[in-house]
Chains A and B, each alone.
Chain A
């Protein structure tokens, strides 16, 4: 040891001996909050989770995380009405993240690169029958197969897809995309039996030796409205028109087509009619634009293609080549009331798009199974009153969208899986919501949402080519990087940098950080300066 200078008696020591952590009255804690996009997704996707990988350009990992919840990203990236984007926190900053278009990019990339699902290592030895090959049935089949169960899907129609094929026109969802994503589920070892209508569920279960059944036959019986019509009037329903487009019996609609209704299906028919050569395609709807249940973007696209809408109108009567409509007025409660004013519209055909009912005939005589308001009753586990028979999609209560159907399929599969083991599936506790006020938005740079290419109007009026195009790789990555990563650490090093006491330990890529409580004084700067709200303060017990 060196001799000490004059008047110095102690060797120099390090301040590390001084554990300033003892000053603390509050403690920071890393959390994972629930991002609003994940919260809003009816299919329960971990949106922020898969965007995290897309940001880094690891699209395969992004796709794998995405498909843990939803096996149909290329389809969803086209047809989902993306409630995730409506609730995206970035919407309060500039514009929401283009989640749906990125999902489509991932889905398409998976098809281009031939990514497959990783089949389970062990089989359970259990057999499950899924009735209906629509979104809900396919989703359930996928999730059950991934859990090692032997799945058979029975589909009454000649092809799989359900409403994705018979309800959504191909200019919104090209069939090769749908076919490829269905095939990937079949490749997992799922047996798909087409043209195989089930008339008696109990018999089918017994004869096939199935341990459980998931019902997902959808709702495809067109609702009727009483309209006095002359014998020559050509009245059709939306379901058969759209179905006919798929089965090769192209419907003859004429030059002037009137569609009655205000949902997405009405718009799909009107847009299809345009493409089939109708000079006039008019939607008659009894309320106003604000009240229309159809999605705003679909209406916008229909109007661009030249579809006309008669707002506040009902059809009174249909004749050979014309119809009579009555003008409506909204009453104080916002309900349409007749005004007694009539108008005549020329029409070669009238298509009713007034909603659909469920065909419940296959459920006759199933003990315990209850039906209410035209749909099957299920409990929280998606099980009907009959043990081992579950149901989902359009045939149970809920919003009727593809995404909701996929969510039902997943939820049912989890419950079927637990039930087969004699257990009860419990929803894991949900994290606290990562609301906008939890973010420190100073750190985010403004960046407008990337647009998707749109087919020009002329081609949209004459062909069934896909209307909306996808992102290229650079755009998809740019858009993914617009994600604020609400409530979940994305390793920006802010906490590590801003701590005046070096009390944050950086654990390395993918491993996040850790607090060094020996020195953390609990000042809370890391909490205030975390951009994405992934740190919270908790009181220290003193």
Chain B
């Protein structure tokens, strides 16, 4: 297991830190001297999961690489809210080029570093789900195929948020977006469409693929650290709730991510060379309804007369994840 949870009863197993933990047991985010790669003053919405996920991941990557890191960023909220000219929130070498070419830009940086003999400098590419699963997909698949020495991080908020919430191929079925409005006989985004990028990445048999959420910091940090132990193409897919696009309270961001994992809607696992090596077990199993109900993007499922049949189909998808990844543990450690 990449992430060996500490059994620390007061808390500390799940919290960011704890005053009683030994220094080496503390998370990167608990350190007063963390990089704060994405600094204050950025223009992300209140409670933005993407801003949080990006700082978690990049701070961890900075820590794992001895601060020898360059990041390429696709267009999307993360880029827009962090760098209105001439200001930047980034406290690391960071480059933006286009919406669809972050993977290619990162590949180029990695090649340049190799040529210059600076292979200690590691490269990260990052983008939203739209930039990753749709427009940047070709570049990304090429990067995987060539096994370029890049860690690609997708911040998945399940739609094109920066342009006002349009469906992407990571939008879940039944969700309302501005292009999948539940009007007439439509009940939101269709079933049977969309791409499962972590599985597609695994199909490329690249050294390392992992999923994570902003609800489990220590797991997320451990995965970034692990990814940096490999050379070659690596992919981490982080679920980052978006209060604006999902329609939940700004204080509920972490809770939403936790519910996504606990209901089985979003499986959290890691895979090496195309094979699953580790899964995060569900701690307190819950029906998908618990996750759907607080989000206005699913409100139409609950408006009288309601759509129990749609909810049942979503439950089936969660159940399939639970089966497929073995998310439930009979002797589940809690």
Binding site for B on A (CB under 8 A): 10-20, 23, 55-56, 442-447, 478, 481-485, 490-494, 496-503, 506, 508-510, 516, 518-519, 521-525, 527-529, 531
9 contacts between A and B (CB under 8 A): A12-B88, A16-B39, A18-B43, A55-B20, A444-B10, A498-B52, A498-B254, A500-B52, A521-B46
What residues of chain B lie closer than 8 Å to A502, measured between beta carbons? 36, 38-40, 55
Question: Measured between C-beta atoms, what is the minimum distance from B321 to chain A in Å?
Answer: 21
**How many contacting A-B pairs (Cβ < 8 A)?**
166
| Contact A445:B251 (CB < 8 A) given known A500-B51, A500-B55 | no
Q: A478-B9, A497-B30 are in contact. Are A516 and B251 (CB under 8 A)?
A: no
| Interface contact A10-B18, CB-CB below 8 Å | no
The complex places the Cα of A522 from the Cα of B249 at a distance, in Å, of 12
Residue of B nearest to A526 (CB): B251
Interface residue? B19 (CB, 8 A): yes
CA distance A519 to B89 in the complex (A): 12
Chain A neighbourhood of B41, CB < 8 A: 14-20, 519
Interface hits, B81-101 → A, CB 8 Å = 82, 85-89
B223 at the interface (CB under 8 A from A): no
Q: Is B17 an interface residue (CB 8 A)?
A: yes
Partner of B251, one of A12, A492, A528, A531: A528
Give the residue of B12, B51, B86 whose beta carbon is less than 8 angstroms from that of A492. Answer: B12
- Known contacts A445-B11, A523-B251; is-contact A12 B86 (Cβ 8 Å): yes
Given contacts A20-B40, A497-B15, 9 further A-B contacts (CB under 8 A): A12-B88, A18-B43, A490-B10, A493-B26, A494-B15, A503-B40, A506-B32, A518-B40, A525-B47
Question: A447-B9, A522-B46 are known contacts. Are A497 and B29 too (CB-CB below 8 A)?
Answer: yes
Nearest B residue to A18, CB-CB: B41
**Would you call B14 an interface residue if the criterion is a C-beta within 8 Å of the partner chain's C-beta atoms?**
yes
- Contacts A11-B86, A17-B87; A496 near B16 (Cβ below 8 A): yes
Docked complex Cα distance between A179 and B82 (Å): 68
User: How far, in whole Å, are A509 and B66 apart by their CA atoms in the complex?
Assistant: 25
Whether a CB of chain A sits under 8 angstroms from the CB of B328 is: no
Pick the contact of A16: B17, B26, B40, B47 (CB < 8 A): B40
B16 touching A493, Cβ below 8 Å = yes
Residues of B within 8 A of A483 (CB): 10
Determine whether the beta carbon of A23 is less than 8 Å from that of B15: no
In the complex, what distance in Å separates the CA atom of A16 from the CA atom of B44? 14
Contacts of A443 in B (CB 8 A): 11, 13-15
Residue B250 is within 8 A (CB to CB) of chain A in the complex: yes
Could you tell me if A481 and B8 are in contact, using CB atoms closer than 8 angstroms?
A: yes
Contact for A498 among B16, B18, B89, CB less than 8 A: B16
Nearest neighbor of B18 in chain A, beta-carbon distance: A492
B17 close to A496 (CB less than 8 A): yes
With a cutoff of 8 Å between Cβ atoms, the chain A residues found around residue B252 in the complex are 528
Bound form: Cα–Cα A518–B40 in Å: 9
Contacting residues, chain A, for B32 (C-beta < 8 A)? 506, 508
Cα distance A447–B97 in the bound complex, in angstroms:
51
Known contacts being A15-B40, A20-B40, is A490 close to B251, with CB within 8 Å? no
Is B226 an interface residue when CB atoms closer than 8 A count as contact?
no
Bound CA span A10–B85, Å: 8
Interface contact A496-B14, CB-CB below 8 Å: no
Given the complex of chains A and B, what is the CA–CA distance between A483 and B18 in angstroms?
Answer: 14
Main secondary structure of the interface of B (DSSP, over half): loop
Residue in B closest to A492 when the chains form the complex, CB atoms: B15
By the criterion of a CB under 8 Å from any partner CB, how many residues of chain B are at the interface?
51
The CB with the most chain A CB atoms within 10 A, among B11, B82, B251, is that of B11
Residues of B within 8 A of A13 (CB): 86-88
Q: Does B258 interact with chain A (Cβ within 8 Å)?
A: yes
Which residue of chain B has its CB nearest to the CB of A479?
B9
- 3 smallest beta-carbon distances between A and B, as pairs: A497-B16, A493-B17, A524-B251
Given A15-B87, A498-B254, A500-B51: A482 and B14 within 8 A (CB)? no
| Cβ–Cβ < 8 Å partners of B327 in chain A | none
| Chain B contact residues, CB within 8 Å of chain A | 7-20, 26-27, 29-30, 32, 36, 38-44, 46-49, 51-52, 55, 82, 85-89, 217, 243, 249-255, 258, 334
With a cutoff of 8 Å between Cβ atoms, the chain B residues found around residue A19 in the complex are 41
B47 A500 Cβ-Cβ under 8 A: yes
Tell me if A519 and B40 are in contact (CB < 8 A): yes
Report yes or no: B16 in contact with A494, Cβ–Cβ below 8 A: yes
Closest to B7 in A: A445
Tell me the minimal C-beta distance from A507 to chain B in angstroms. 9
By the criterion CB–CB under 8 Å, are B55 and A15 in contact?
no
CA distance A509 to B30 in the complex (A): 12
**Minimal beta-carbon separation of B63 from chain A (angstroms):** 14
* A481, A490, A498 pick with most chain B CB within 10 angstroms: A498
Among the listed B12, B14, B15, B82, which residue makes an inter-chain contact with A15, where contact means beta carbons less than 8 Å apart?
A: B82
Whether B86 and A10, one on each chain, are in contact in the complex, defined by CB atoms closer than 8 angstroms, is: yes
* Chain B residues near A519 (CB-CB < 8 A): 40-41
For B249, the closest partner residue in chain A by CB is A524
Task: Flag if A492 contacts B11 (CB, 8 Å).
Answer: yes
**List of B residues within 8 angstroms of A484 by Cβ:** 10
Within the complex, the shortest CB–CB distance from A130 to chain B, in Å, comes to 40
Q: Does B11 contact A444, Cβ atoms closer than 8 Å?
A: yes
Q: How far is the CB of A498 from chain B (nearest CB, A)?
A: 6
Complex Cα spacing A23 to B47, Å: 12
Q: Is the CB of B8 within 8 A of A445?
A: yes
Residues of B within 8 A of A14 (CB): 39, 41, 87-89
Residues on the A chain within 8 Å of B44, using CB:
500-501
Q: A14-B39, A496-B17, A509-B19 are in contact. Are A528 and B254 (CB under 8 A)?
A: yes
* B contact residues around A527 at 8 Å (CB): 251
Cβ–Cβ contact B15 & A493, under 8 A? yes
Is B17 a contact partner of A445 (Cβ separation < 8 A)?
Answer: no
Q: Which residues of A contact B9 (CB under 8 A)?
A: 444-445, 447, 478, 481-482
Complex Cα spacing A313 to B18, Å: 56
Distance from B36 Cβ to chain A, minimum over Cβ atoms (Å): 5
Please state if B16 and A492 are interface contacts (CB–CB under 8 Å). Answer: yes
Instruction: Knowing A481-B9, A493-B30, A523-B251 are in contact, say whether A500-B18 is a contact too (CB < 8 A).
Output: no
Give min CB distance, B68 to chain A, whole Å: 21
- Min CB distance A88 to B, Å, is 14
Question: A439 → chain B, closest Cβ, in Å?
Answer: 11
| B19 contact set on A, CB distance < 8 A | 56, 490-492, 509-510
**A14 CA to B41 CA, complexed, in Å:** 8
Verify B51–A482 contact, CB threshold 8 A.
Answer: no
Q: What is the distance, in angstroms, from A9's C-beta to the closest C-beta of chain B?
A: 8
Closest A residue, CB atoms, query B19: A491
User: A516, B40: Cβ atoms under 8 Å?
Assistant: yes
Report the nearest A residue to B90, measured CB to CB: A15
Query: How distant is B38 from chain A, measured CB to nearest CB, in Å?
Result: 8
How far does the alpha carbon of A523 sit from the alpha carbon of B18 in the complex, in Å? Answer: 23
Also in contact, A523 and B10, with CB within 8 A (given A493-B16, A498-B254, A502-B39): no
